[in-house]
Amino acid sequence: MDLSNVIQMFGNPLTALTLLPIFGAILLMLLHWLSNDQRREMLASPIRFVNFSLAILMFIMATSIGLQETFGLAWGEYLYQNCQTGEIIEGSCALIGSIGVSWHVGIDALSFPMVWLTTLLIPITMIVEWNAKKGAYFHSLLLLMEGALIGVFVSLDLFVFYVFWELTLIPMFFLILMWGGEDRRYAAQKFFIYTFAASVFMLAGILIMYFNNPADWSGNITNKSFDFVLMENSTGFIAAEGLRSVVFLLMLIGFATKLPSVPVHTWLPDAHVQAPTAGSMLLAGVMLKMGAYGFLRLGVTLFPEQLVEFQILLIVLGMVSLVYGAIVCLGQMNLKRMVAYSSVSHMGLIFLGIATLEPLGIAGAIFMMFAHGIISPLLFAVCGAFKHHYHTLEIGSMRGLAHHSPWMSAHMMVGWMGSLGLPLMAGFVAEVAVLIAFYMAFGWWVLLPAVTLIVTATYYLWSMQRTIFEGEGVAQLPPTMHGDKPRDITWHENTGMLILGVLAVVYGIYPDFFGMFEMMSNWASLLVENVLLEVRP
Amino acid sequence: MGEHSKPEWNLLVPVLAMVSFPFIRHLLGYNPIDSAFLIVAVPLAIFPVILIIGQQYKGEDWWKHQLKEGGIVALAGLAITLSLTIWLIIEFLVHHAHFGDQGAVFDWITFDNIASDNTLTESVLSFGIWVDSISLTVLFVAAFLCFLICWFAIGYMTTDPINEDRNHRFFAEFVLFSMGMFGMVLADSFLWLFIFWEIMGLCSYLLIGFYWEKPSAAAAAKKAFLTTRVGDVFLMVGLFMLYDLYHSLDFAVIFGDPTLGGTIHGEDLQWPIIMMFIGCVGKSAQFPLHVWLPDAMEGPTPVSALIHAATMVNAGLYLVARMFPIFSEASFEGALSDVAMLIAWIGGITAFMAALIAFVANDIKRVLAYSTMSQLAYIFTGLGAACWLANEGYQKYALFAFGAAMFHLFNHAMAKAMLFMSSGSVIHEMHHAHDHAHGDGDEGDHHHFDPQDMRNMGGLASKMPVTSTAMMLGSMSIIGIPLIGGFWSKEGIVGQAWNVYLKGGEMILFPAILVLATAGMTGFYMSRMWFMTFAGKPKSDVVEYVHEETQWIKTPLVTLSIVTAFSGFLLACGHFVYWLSDPASEKGSHFMTDFFKHPFEAILYELEHAFLPEDNTLKIVGWTAILLSAGLGPFIAARMHGGHLSEGERAVPLTSWLIRYSGSVGHTDVGELAEGGLATALHNRLYIDDAYEWIISKTLIPLSAISAWIDKNLVDGVIKRIECGSQWASTQIRQLTTGKASDYLLMAALGTLVVIAILWGVI
Amino acid sequence: MNLGTLFSGPDMASILMPEWILILGITAMIIVPNLGNATFRLPIPNTSIRIPYLLGGKRFSFTGDPRLPSAIAAFTLFASFITALLSQMIDSGVGVAEACISMTGAVNECAISDNYILRVDPFSRMMEMIFTAALLIAVIANMDRLPATSHKRLQLEVQEDPVAENRRLAKLLNNRRQVDFSLLVLMVALGMSTVALSTNLFSLFVGLELASMASYVLVSFHKETKIGPEAGVKYFIVGSVAGAVGLYGISMLYIWNGDLSIYGTGGLAEKWASEGPNGMAIIGLAMMLVAFGFKVSAVPFHFAAPDAYAGASGPVAGVLSTASKAMGFVALMRVLFGVTLGDGGNEWTILIGAVAAITMTWGNIAALGSKNPKRMLAYSSIAHAGYILAGIAAIGALGPGAGSELIATAIIFHLAVLVTFKIGAFLVVSLLECEGRGHEISHFHGLARRDPMIAIPMMIFMLALAGVPPLSGFLSKLMMVSGIISSTVGDVSGATLSDAFGSLSWVFWLAILIFINSAISIFYYLRICVVMFFEETDRSPRMSRAPMIRIAIMLCTMGAVVLGFGVLADVLAIAASDAAAALFS
Amino acid sequence: MIDPSWISGLGVFLFCIGLIGVFTRKNAIIVLMCVEIMLNAVNLNFVAGAYHYENIDGWVFAAFAIAIAAAEVAVGLAILLSLYSQRQTISLDEVSLLKH
C-alpha cells in the first residue's frame, strides 16, 4: 500500500462520499468536545453549518455522479470502481490483505438511487431538526450515519460492507439514546441488540461465501477474498446446492430483520417511536432499505436458484408483513407506532416484488425502496413535529389540527396520502409495478395485497380524521399542552417536509425523473436476463 | 349579503381574456389535438398556485375581493379548458376528424416483460390523449359544468362568512378535481384513467371534508374515500388482469384488436371486466357500494353539484362505456353476456332502491343524491343492455342503447348540476334568511335550524323565481317529461332494457321491471321535492326573508336552464345518440347537419325511435313509462305536498301553472304511511349502512385490536420473554457461585470426573 | 543439565534474550532498591583495596526512591517485549522454529528427531509479546493503583491529625510493597515466557506454577482490603488443587512414556501417534486438562475466577483475564495439538466442544445479570474462553491443515487483541477503584459527563468485547468463526437444504453458538455504555487524576481501534498466522 | 528392589487421600496439607517412572516437584496469614464475601 494507492483511494468520488462524512463528523465532534465551555458555545453554530454544508456537498457530489451517468450499464459493471479485479487479487487495494479484505467501491443502478437518497435525506433531516439540542453532536452523528450508509451501498467488499452495516448502528444507537423519547433506553438497546443479532447470521452467510469464493488470492492467510465482484464473476461459486440454501437462509435472516419482515419486526416500532425525528426519518428512509438492498445485491444476485426454491417463503414473509402489518396499524393508538407498522407493511411489498421474478416486480420493489425512502421520512417528520409541538403522539388526543397548524396538517395529508398509495405520488408507482408483476406471477393471490390497500387507507384516514379534522366549536387540545398556545411548524420543518412532499409528487408523476425508474428497471431487466432467466421455473 | 353586493362583472375580464387562449394557440400554429394535454396541465398548474398564494396572502384585500380568494383564478383556468374543449369539439365536428389515439405525451414507466419464449420484451406505460365522441361528450360535460359550477361557487362560497379565509382551499381542490376529471376522460390507457380516477377520489375526499371541523363531514369524507377505495382496489386488480392478457393497458392495443390476434377469448375477459365494474360501482355509487353518496352531501353545495352530479360519478359510467368495444367484438359473442347482465342488474336494483329511499328523504340535497344514484343506475342498466345486445350480436340495438345511455349521462349531468345549484341557492338563501331573521346571537336555535330541510321551506316560488324555474326544468328533465332533456334518453334505456328481454335475455326481466317502476317513482319524488320546496304555504317563518341575490349564482342557473330545456330536444333530433355510439355511421356522421337541413324529418325520425320503437311491445313499455313518470308520479306528489302559495305571493308565469296545478288536485294525508315500518326502514337507508358498520365493528376492529395485542404480547413478547428468561437464568446460574471455596472444589471435582468419564468413554 | 552449558554459546544468549532480560530485571529488582552506603567493606585478598558492600545501610536517595521498582519492572518488560518483537521482525518469514534448546543445553536448529525442552519460534515469541505487553500495561497502570510517594513528600506530610497520619501510613505501606509487586510481576512474566517456550511438559508445568504462584500473591496483594485476601485464598486453594491434579496427570504421562518431551524421538507425540493412548495416558491427559481448564477458567473450573477478579486490583484482574488465560491456552494447545493431534486427536474434541459451548453460554448468561462490573468482566472473560475453546475443538475435529492453522491464527490474534480491550476495560474499573468505587455498576453512572475521555474508551472497549466492527474484537471473533466455518463447509454436499444441514459438521453449530452468544453479550456490554452516558450521577465531575492509568487506557484504546482495521491489523494477523504455522510444525 | 507399580500404587493411594481431604476439610491449612500429600503422590509417580525406565528425568522432576510444593506452602501460608489477620478465621466456609 504505497502513497499513490492512498491518493487513488481518496481521489475516488465514492471513497470521498463514504469517508469524508465519517472523518468530518468525527473531527467536528472532537473539535467540539475538546474545546472549553466558552469556546464550545461559540463553535456550536459554525459546526452546525459545517455539518450542513458537508451534507450538501455530498448531495452535490452524488447528484453530479448521477448527471454524468445514465446507468444503463451492462450487467455486473460498476462505475467509479477504485480498483480492478486484477488489482484486487494482487492486493494493491488491500485493507487487511492477510484475510483478503480490500477497499473496493463501485456504484451501479441498484446502489445509485440509494446513495442519492441518502445524500438527499441527510440535509433534510438536518434542516428538520435544525435546532436540535447539542446540535453539534446531533448533526455530526447524522453525518457519520451518512458515511456509514453510503459505505453500505457502495462497498463491493463484503467485509467492508459488513463493517459499514454495523457501523450504521452506532450513530443511530446514540441518536435514539441521547435524543429519544421517554423509553429511549429500552428502545435503543433493543434496536441495537436485535439488529446486531440478526446481522450476525448474515455474517455467517458471508463467511461461507468467502470460503467458497474460488478466486484465489495467493499470499494471504486464507487464499480467499471478500470481494463481491470476484464472487459474482466466478463460475462454480459454492458448488453444493444445499450449502447455497444454507447461505441464502442465513442471509435472509439478517436482511429480513433489517427490512423488517414479520415476525422479526418488533424492534422497529419501539425504535421508531423513541427515536428523534431525524433518527426515525433516516431509520425508515434509508436503514430499512439496507435490508432490501442487501437481499437484492447478495441474495438475489448470487443465489438465483435459491430465490426460486424459497419463493414461497418470500411470498409468505412478504404477504404476512403486508397484511398483518396493516391490520396491526389499525389497532395502534400511537401515531408514530402506526406509521412504523405501516413501514413493516410496505416493506412486505418489496419481498413480494422480488418473489415475482419478473423484471417489473423487481423494478417495482427497487422503486418501492426509493419511494418509501421519500415518503416515510415525511411521515416521520410530521409525527416528530406533532410530538414537538403538541407533546403527544396519541391518536385522538386532539382534534382540529388543521385549525392550529395548517401547514403541518397539509404535510400530514400529503404524506399520508402518498403512503396509502395515491396515484401521482411515488408510492403508487411502486405498488402498481409490484402488484402487476405479482398478478402475472401468481394470479388471484393479488387480491390479498390489494385488499390490504383498503386497510391501509382505513388506518390512515382514520388517524387523519382523529387528528386533523373535527373539533367544531371548541378545538380540543391534548392535555399535554398544559394550556400552551398551539403553534404551526417552524420554517425549518416546513422546508424539509416541503422538499419531501414535492419529491413524492414529482416521482409519482414522472418516475423517470433523474433517470430513477429507468435505471432501476434496467437493472432489474439485466438481473432477470443474466441471472434469473435460466432458473425460472 | 345580497343587497350590498354590487355587480362585479369587471372581475370577469381576466376570465374572458382567457377564452382567447385557443385562438392564440391557433395563431401560433398548433392544432387542437396538440393542445389537448393543456386541458389537464393548466388546472394542474393552477392548483398549487391558488393553494400556496392563498395560504400566504389569505387576509389581503386584493386576494379576497379582486380575486375572490382564488375563485377568479380558478375560473380563468377553467375558461381555458372549456375553450380548448370547444375548440377540440369544433375540430372534431367540422373536420369530421376521427382522432382516436393521439400517441403518448410522455412515457411514465418503461420496463421489460418476459415473453413466452423466455426473452425480454420492452413494455411502456405511457400517458397519451385519446379523443372520440364519448370522451368529447364527457369532456364537454365536465368542462362546461366545472366552469359554471366554479362561477356559481364564487357566489356561493365567498359570501358565506363561515368560509372566510379558506376558500382558496376550496378553489384549489376544485381545480385539481377538474384536472382529474379531464385527465380521466382524455387518458388513452386504462392505467391513466385509473390514476386520474383516484385523483378525483382524493379531491372528493378533500371537498366533502371541506368543513372538516364538523365531525359528520369528516366522517362522511372518510366514508366516501374508503367506499370508493374498495371499488378502486378491485378496479386495480382488473387492470392487472387486463395487463396480464394484453401486456399493455393502452386503449389502442386493447380496442384495436380485443382478441390480440386470436389469443384471447371472451371468457378470459369476464373477470377483468367484472373487477373493473366493481370499481365503477364504487365510483358511481351503485348498490352495494352506494353508502357514501348520501353522506357526501356534507360538503358544500357546489361540491355536491360538481362531484355528485356532473363529473365524478360519471367516471364509472365512462369506464363501462369505454369497455363497450370489447363487448361488441364479434369473436367474443355470448361470452360476456353474463357480465352485461350483471351490470344491468346492479343498475336495476340501485335505481329502484335509491328511488325508494328518496321517497322519504326530507333533506333537499339528499333527495337529489338519491336521485343521482337512481339516474346513474338507469344509465348502468342501459349500458348493461347495450353490452348484452352487443355481445349477443344485435349491433344495431346495442348501438342505440349505448347512445341512449350516454345521452342520458349528458342530460342527467346538466340537469342534476343545475338542480344541485338550485338547491344550493335555496339553502344559501335559507341560511342567510335564518341569520337575518333570528340574528347571529341566537346560537341554540341556530343549531337546530336546518336550512336544508324541506320541511322548513314551502312557498319559495315567489321568493326565488329563477331558482324555482331552474329547478322545475331540471326536475322535468330528470323525470322525463316528454320532449325535455332526459326524456329522450330515458325512453331509450327503458325500451332497450325490455328489448333485451325480447331478444332472449330473460334474466333482465327483473331490472327491466324495476327501471320501469322507477320511472314512475322518479316522477313522484322529484315532484315531491319541488312541491315541498316551492309550492304551498311557508312552513317556517324564515321563508319570509328569503330572496335571490347575486349574479354569481343566477347566471349559471339561467344558462343551465336554457341548456336543459333545449339541449335534449336539439341534440336528440340532431342524431346525437348515433353520433355517440358510432360517429362513423350514416346517422352519426350527420350529427346536427341533418337537423339544420331537414328539421322536421329529423324530429319525426327521433320521436319515432325514441319513444315509439318499431316493436309493439316496446311501444307499450314506452307509453307506460311516460304515463308513470309524467302522469302518475307528479300527480300523487302534487296531491300529497302541493298547494297554493300564501296570499299575495306570486310566482313567475313559468312556474305558476305548476303551483296552480298542485293546488287544484286535492290533498291526501299520508301521515300513517310515513310512520310505518317501511318508511322507518327507508329513513334508515334500508339498514345497509348499519349492516356495514356492524360488520366492520365486529370483524376488522376486533381483528386489529387482537393483532395489535398479539404483536405486543406474543411476537414481541417472545423477545421480552427471552430477555426476562435470560435474566432469570443469570440469577440462577450465579447462585451456583456460592462464594465457598469448598463448593468450588466440589464442582471442579465433579467436572474432573466428567472429563475423565468422557475421555474414557470415547476410547 | 549442566549449568555451564547454559552459557556455552552466544546463541543461547541471543536466542533467549527476552528471558535473560527478565532474569536480569528480577536480579536488579532484588539488588537495586537495597543499595546504600553500607559501611561494611569487602577486602580483596592480598590487596589493600576494600570494595564497598553497598547493600543495606542508609539507602541512596535514587535507589531508595519507591518509584524505582515500577520503573525497573516497566523497563524490563518493555525491553523484553521489544527484543521479542525485534527478533520476530528480523527473523520472521524464515519459517518455522528457529532454535531449540535440548535437555543438555545445546542450541540447535530444530530437527524432528531430537527432543527439546525449549523451543524458540514465532509462536513462542508471539506469546511472549502478548504476556509482556499485558504485564507492561498492568505495571504502568499500577503506578497509580498502588501509588508510590517519594520519601521527601512523606516526610513533609507528618501530621498530628490521626486521620492524616493513617493516610500517611497507608502511603508508607504502599511504598514498602512496591518492590514486592514489581518483583511478582516479573516472576509472572518469566513463568509465562517459560510456558511459551516449553516443549517439555515438565518445564511447561514449572513455568505455569511459577506464574501461578506469583499471581496468587498478586490477587491477594491488597491485603488491607476485606476482599483481597479472600480472593487470594480462594484462587490459591482451587488453583493449587488443580495444579496438583495437573501435575499428577503429568506424572502419569511420565509413567506411560518415560519421557515428557512433546516432540522428537521418544516424545509423547510420537508414542501417542504410534501406539495410541492407554487408560493411564488418557487419565493423565484428563487431569492436565483440569489444570489448564482452571487456568483458562473453563466451566466448571471457573468458579474461583470471578471472585479472584473481583478481589484483585484492576490491573491484576486485567492480567489474569488476558496473559494468565493466554498462558493456559498456550499450555492447552501445546498438549492437545502437540501431543494428541497425531492420531487424529479427536479423543477430546467432543469434550472440548461441549466445554466450549457450556463455557461461553454460562459466561454470557451469568454476566447478563451481574451487578459488579468486575464480575461482569470476569464472566465475559469466561465467555471469551469459551469462544477460544470452540476454536480448539474445531481444530481437534479437523486435524492439522490449513483450516486448523486459520483457527489457531484466530486464537492467537484473539489473545493478542484481548490485551488491548480487556485490560483496558479493567483499567477503567481500576480508575474508579482509585476513588474507592468500581464494584457496582451504578458507579459508572454519568461517567460520560464526569470524564468523557474515559467514557469513550470504555465504550470502545465494550463494543470491541462485543465484537462490533470495525474494532479489533470483531476481527478476532470473525477470524475465529471464519476458521470454524471454513473447516466445516468445505465438505458439505447434498442438493437440498436438509441434506446440507445433515452433512454440516457439528462444529458448525459451535460457530453459530458463538454468534448467538455474541448477540446475548451485546446486552450487558451495552448496558455499561448506556449507564455511562445516560444515568445521572451526584458525584462531582472530577475523577482522580491517575495519569498512568490514563496513558495505559489510551494505549489500549488505540490498540483496540487500530488492530481492528487496516495496516496494523494486517501485520498482526500475519504475525499470528506465522505463529500458528510454527505451532503446527 | 520393589516393583515400580507398587510405588505408583502407593501414589494413587496418597493422591486419593489428599483429594478426599481437600474435599472434606474446611480448614485451609489442612487443605493445604492435603495438597502437599497429592504432590507427594506425584513424586512417588515420578520416582516409580524413573525406576521403571531407568532414566534420570524422573528424579529431577521429583526434585523440582518438591521445590514447587515448598514454594506453594510458602505462598499459601502467606496468603492464609493475611486472611487470618483480616478475618481471624481460616475456615474456607466462612470466607464468602465474594459470591454470585
Bridge partner residues of B363 (DSSP): B453
pLDDT confidence of residue C135: 95
In a domain, C495, yes or no: yes
Q: Flag if B739 and D26 touch (Cβ within 8 Å).
A: no
Nearest CA in chain C to D95: C230
> Nearest C-alpha of chain D: how many angstroms from C504?
38
Q: What is the pLDDT of residues A370-388, one digit of tens each?
A: 999 999 999 999 999 988 8
Q: Give the mean model confidence (pLDDT) for residues B124-145.
A: 88
Question: Considering only A350-364, B661-675, C27-41, which range has the smallest mean pLDDT?
Answer: B661-675
Q: What letter does residue C50 receive in the DSSP assignment? A: E
pLDDT confidence of residue A399: 82
Q: Flag if B230 and A454 touch (Cβ within 8 Å).
A: yes
pLDDT confidence of residue C94: 38
How confident is residue C332, by pLDDT bands cut at 50, 70 and 90?
A: very high
**Predicted confidence (pLDDT) at residue B1 exceeds the cutoff of 50:** no
In a domain, C477, yes or no: yes
Q: Give the mean model confidence (pLDDT) for residues B212-224.
A: 87
Q: What is the pLDDT of residues B655-707, one digit of tens each?
A: 888 888 888 887 777 767 777 778 888 888 888 888 888 988 888 888 989 98
Question: Considering only A30-34, A407-411, A517-521, C282-286, which range has the smallest mean pLDDT?
Answer: A30-34
Residue B175: closest CA among B301, B37, B43? B43
pLDDT confidence of residue B346: 92
pLDDT, averaged across chain A: 87
- Which pTM was predicted? 0.90
Q: Flag if B763 and C282 touch (Cβ within 8 Å).
A: yes
Q: How far is CA A277 from the centre of its chain?
A: 15
Q: What is the pLDDT of residues A289-311, one digit of tens each?
A: 999 999 999 988 888 888 998 99
In a domain, C105, yes or no: no
Q: Flag if C254 and D58 touch (Cβ within 8 Å).
A: yes
> Nearest C-alpha of chain C: how many angstroms from A157?
14
Which residues make Cβ contacts (< 8 Å) with residue A411, sequence separation at least 6? A378, A381, A382, A385, A489, A494, A497, A498, A501
Q: Which residue has cell 448470487?
A: A302
Bridge partner residues of B113 (DSSP): B121
Q: B676 vs B532, B641, B682, CA distance in Å?
A: 21, 18, 10
**Predicted confidence (pLDDT) at residue C9 exceeds the cutoff of 50:** no
Q: Give the mean model confidence (pLDDT) for residues A101-117.
A: 90
Residue B343: closest CA among B379, B374, B294, B291? B379
- C241 and chain B: CB distance < 8 Å anywhere? yes
- A312 and chain B: CB distance < 8 Å anywhere? no
ipTM: 0.87
**Predicted confidence (pLDDT) at residue C121 exceeds the cutoff of 90:** no
What string of DSSP letters covers A294-306?
HIIIIIIHH-HHH
Q: Which domain holds residue C508?
A: 346-585
- List chain B residues with CB under 8 Å of C279: 760, 763
Q: What is the pLDDT of residues C210-233, one digit of tens each?
A: 999 999 999 999 888 888 899 999
In a domain, C514, yes or no: yes
Q: What is the pLDDT of residues B461-470, one digit of tens each?
A: 888 888 888 8
How confident is residue C47, by pLDDT bands cut at 50, 70 and 90?
A: confident
- List chain D residues with CB under 8 Å of B746: 23
pLDDT confidence of residue B763: 52
Q: Flag if B213 and A424 touch (Cβ within 8 Å).
A: no
Residue count (chain B):
763
Left, alpha or beta for A473 (phi > 0: left; psi -120 to 50: alpha)?
Answer: left
- List chain B residues with CB under 8 Å of C520: 726
Using a threshold of 3 CB pairs under 8 A, tell whether chains A and D touch.
no
- C294 and chain B: CB distance < 8 Å anywhere? yes
Q: Which SS3 state, helix, strand or coil, does residue C334 take?
A: helix
**Predicted confidence (pLDDT) at residue C96 exceeds the cutoff of 50:** no
Q: What is the CATH number of domain D4-87?
A: 1.10.287.3510
Number of domains, chain C: 1
Left, alpha or beta for A476 (phi > 0: left; psi -120 to 50: alpha)?
Answer: beta
Residue C324: closest CA among C354, C299, C294? C294
Q: Give the mean model confidence (pLDDT) for residues D87-91.
A: 87
Q: Flag if C530 and A99 touch (Cβ within 8 Å).
A: no
pLDDT confidence of residue A5: 56
- List chain B residues with CB under 8 Å of D22: 745
pLDDT confidence of residue C492: 66
- A208 and chain C: CB distance < 8 Å anywhere? yes
* C-beta separation of B18 from B38 below 8 A: no
Question: Considering only A493-507, B641-655, C58-72, C389-403, which range has the smallest mean pLDDT?
Answer: B641-655
Q: What letter does residue B712 receive in the DSSP assignment? A: I
* C-beta separation of B79 from B15 below 8 A: yes
In a domain, C335, yes or no: no
Q: What letter does residue B284 receive in the DSSP assignment? A: T
C-alpha span between B192 and B105 (Å, rounded): 12
- D19 and chain B: CB distance < 8 Å anywhere? yes
How confident is residue B457, by pLDDT bands cut at 50, 70 and 90?
A: confident
How confident is residue C6, by pLDDT bands cut at 50, 70 and 90?
A: very low
Burial of B443 (0-12, 13-18, 19+ CB in 10 A): exposed
Q: Flag if A359 and B120 touch (Cβ within 8 Å).
A: yes
pLDDT confidence of residue B617: 78
Q: Flag if B233 and A327 touch (Cβ within 8 Å).
A: no
Provide the sign of the torsion angle of the four alpha carbons C571, C573, C579, C582, taken in this order.
negative
List C residues 320-349 in contact with B (Cβ-Cβ < 8 A).
347-348
**Predicted confidence (pLDDT) at residue C279 exceeds the cutoff of 90:** no
What string of DSSP letters covers B181-193?
HHHHHHBSBHHHH
Given a contact as 3+ CB pairs under 8 Å, which chains touch A?
B, C
> Nearest C-alpha of chain C: how many angstroms from B251?
48
Q: D65 vs D34, D47, D60, D71, CA distance in Å?
A: 15, 11, 8, 10
Q: Flag if D100 and B741 touch (Cβ within 8 Å).
A: no
Query: B7 versus C563: which is more confidently predicted?
Result: C563
**Predicted confidence (pLDDT) at residue C345 exceeds the cutoff of 60:** no
Which residues make Cβ contacts (< 8 Å) with residue A414, sequence separation at least 6? A378, A425, A501, A504, A505
For residue C116, the surrounding DSSP H or E stretch is: strand C116-120
Query: C107 versus B406: which is more confidently predicted?
Result: B406
